[in-house]
Amino acid sequence: MKITKLFFFLTTVLLMACESDTASKERWYQAEDYVFVGDFTTGLEGPCVDKEGNLFFVNPKRNGTIGKVSNKGQFELFIDSLPNGSFANGIRLNANGNLFLADYMNHNVLLLNPDNKSIQTHIHEPKMNQPNDLAIMSNGTLFASDPNWGDNTGNIWMIKPNKEVILLDSTMGTTNGIEVSPNEKHLYVNESVQRNVWIFDLTEDGISNKRQWIQFDDFGMDGMRCDEKGNLYIARYGKGVVAKVSPKGKLLEEIKLKGEKPTNIAFGGEDGKTIFVTLQDRGYIEQFRVPDAGRSFVMKMKKHE
C-alpha cells in the first residue's frame, strides 16, 4: 500500500511539473496583435522603445512619417513629415534619449529629439547607397547597413561618436539587419537576398575575422536584435516568422506571426521581454513574449540607473 501511494504521489508531482513546463512554454513565442497603426504599412519599419516604454517606428500612414505608440498602447502620428523629403528606416536610441534615424533617401543619419521634435542631420555621407538599419554600442558608436538593391550588393559603415564615418566593408551582399552582441565583441550583419548572416569580431578600429554564422534556404531576412544572452531574433520577411538563433548559430525557434512580411523587431515592455514586430502586410504591430530581455533594453536601463 505504501509503495502504491508513493508511486501515485511521484506520478502526480511529475505530471504537475510537466504541465507547469508546458504552460510556461505556451506563454513564450505566442504572437498577438499589439496595436492597429493604419492601412498604409508598406514602409513600416525600424521599431525602437525608449526608457519610458514608448514605441517609435517609421512610415505609418505614408512614407516620411514617424509613428509613436505610448506605453499605454495609444498610437499617434508623432512626426507628420521628415524634412527635405527624407524617408527613415532603422531607428536607434542614444544615451540621451534622442533617436538616430537611417535616412535612406538623402544618405543621412538624422537625429530626432522626441521632447521638442527637432530634427537635425547627424551625419551626411554621399557615398552611402541608402542607409537601412542601425546598431549602437554603449559608447554611442553606430553601425549602419547600406544595401544596393539594384545589384544585390551592400556596405557596412561605422559612425563614431565624434561623427567620423568609416566604411568597414564594401564587398557584402544586400546588407540589411545589423546588431551588436551583448558583450560588444561581435557584430552581426545579414544579407537579405543571399540569406546569409555574418559575424565579425569588433575591434577598436572596426571589424575583422568575417565568418558565416547561419544561412537560410528560403525567404528573406530583415531586421534583427539580440537578447541579453546573445540569442539573435531575425525577422524572416515573406515567411511570416521571427527566427531565434543561438549564440552558436543554431536555429532554436521559429515564432509564427499573423502577417507574412515582418520587417524589424524591438524589445520592450516593463521587463524587456516583449518583442514588438513591424510588418508590411497587416496594419498591425504584433507582439510576443520571450524568456530573456533584449540587449538594448538592458543597456538602456543601465544607462539610467
147: closest CA among 180, 184, 102, 95?
A: 102
CA pair distance 132, 147, nearest whole angstrom: 7
Find the helix or strand (DSSP H, E) in which 82 lies: none
Asked: is 34-303 a CATH 1.10.10.10 domain? The reply is no
Please list the pLDDT of the chain residue by residue as tens digits (305 residues): 455 555 555 555 455 554 444 445 558 999 999 999 998 889 999 999 999 999 999 999 999 999 999 999 999 999 999 999 999 999 999 999 999 999 999 999 999 999 999 999 999 999 999 999 999 999 999 999 999 999 999 999 999 999 999 999 999 999 999 999 999 999 999 999 999 999 999 998 899 999 999 999 999 999 999 999 999 999 999 999 999 999 999 999 999 999 999 999 999 999 999 999 999 999 999 999 999 999 998 887 765 44
Find the helix or strand (DSSP H, E) in which 13 lies: helix 2-27
- Helix, coil or strand: residue 81: coil
Q: Where are the domains of the chain?
A: 34-303
- Helix, coil or strand: residue 67: strand
CB atoms within 10 A of CB 217: 5
pTM: 0.90
* CB-based contact 186:180 (threshold 8 Å): yes
